[in-house]
Structure 1
Amino acid sequence: MVPWQKSYLPMCLINVLDWKQKFEIAVGTAKGLAYLHEECLEWVLHCDVKPQNILLDSNYNPKVADFGLSKVLNRGEQSNLSFSRIRGTRGYMAPEWVQNMRITSKVDVYSYGIVVLEMLTGKSPAESVQAIGGGEETHEKMMVTWVREKMNGAFANAESQKGDDYEQNRLEILVKVALQCLEEDKDARPTMSQVVEMLLHHENN
């Protein structure tokens, strides 16, 4: 892990990013989480992935930061995770936390999906999303519902830079990957290394 530096800024404070920068931030963040989940000698579950905990340097390279809620375990302990309390930030937490289900690295995958959608839409999961009807949906589910409704062209037309098919394709792959990360069933979500592979496969084609 790279030490926190004063020159870094939280991603949530950077308002002007082009699609190339957003794509690279998504890839870089995914690589950081994949490293924590699969490459560290000890298995690290971050537990609080959100824009405030993704720092950007002067070149907009992302670094995952603030491990105050993280869980560090030996590799053999993955199947016996126990938590004394719910961890994370409202709006970014996977449903497993409140459903008393076994906690795995897929909780970070879910949070990553929310972060990507927030970066793309500019809408916080803690805020109500326009055009969603009544009901008891949580704010993050409202945002996911809103994005899914816009996936059939309207979202891309509204959010992408006009006349640039490559940039629109970047947007579409980011949305598709984010929605996969937000599957209710944790087993249907990709791992963070699979997220990296999907994004880089698109970038290299």
Structure 2
Amino acid sequence: MNLTGASHSSFSRIRGTRGYMAPEWITNLSITSKVDVYSYGVVLLEIVTGENPGVVDVVTWVREKKIEVPTLEAWVEEIADPMMEGNYNAAQMRTLILVALQCVKDDKDARPTMSQVVEILQGDHSIP
């Protein structure tokens, strides 16, 4: 099998699962690696909240909770999957949620790269 042209392939139709797809798929903007960053952010939100993006608009739900809940600590408690019963490191959970929110920004240029996400999660870089 010849893979020489693989890096020059283009997407001719939408692929993915509703709830995980970046806005640029719908708006016909250019597709870049930032669509994967968006999906990764949704997966992070799914993990920390216990919500299914196919059932609940988890991105909107978390954004609304951030506005409704007065303090960062209470916000993290409100968003964290209740099945964890508070058994998590609050600082790490806050970092995961804030990174996820950076990843799911509507503007693809405002999203971090996956390298930046890794640096943040390793503690080598701060959240913008």
In 2, Cα distance between the equivalents of 1:73 and 1:155?
Answer: 44
C-alpha offsets along residues 17-44 of structure 1, whole Å, 9 cap, x if unaligned? xxxxxxxxxxxxxxxxxxxxxxxxx9xx
Q: Which runs of 5+ in 1 are unaligned?
A: 1-41, 43-71, 129-138
Q: TM-score, normalised by structure 1?
A: 0.49
Aligned residue number for residue 94 of structure 2: 172
In 2, Cα distance between the equivalents of 1:90 and 1:82?
Answer: 20
Q: Percent identity?
A: 49
The answer to whether the 8 Å contact 1:125/1:143 transfers is no
Residue 147 (structure 1) shift: 4.5
Aligned residue number for residue 155 of structure 1: 75
Residue 120 (structure 1) shift: 0.3
Change (3 A) 1:188 1:123: same
In 1, Cα distance between the equivalents of 2:65 and 2:46?
Answer: 10
Larger helix fraction of residues = 2
Matched, 1:103 2:48: no
Q: Which amino acid aligns with 1:143?
A: W
> Which structure 2 residues correspond to residues 85-100 of structure 1 after superposition, within 5 A?
85-100=13-28
In 2, Cα distance between the equivalents of 1:117 and 1:111?
Answer: 10
Higher relative contact order (CA 8 A, sep 6+): 2
Residue 156 (structure 1) shift: 2.1
SS of corresponding position for 1:125:
coil
> Which structure 2 residues correspond to residues 45-64 of structure 1 after superposition, within 5 A?
none
Matched, 1:181 2:107: no
Aligned residue number for residue 12 of structure 2: 84
In 2, Cα distance between the equivalents of 1:197 and 1:83?
Answer: 29
Change (3 A) 1:109 1:179: same
Q: Which runs of 5+ in 2 are unaligned?
A: none
Q: TM-score, normalised by structure 2?
A: 0.76
In 1, Cα distance between the equivalents of 2:121 and 2:99?
Answer: 8
Larger strand fraction of residues = 1
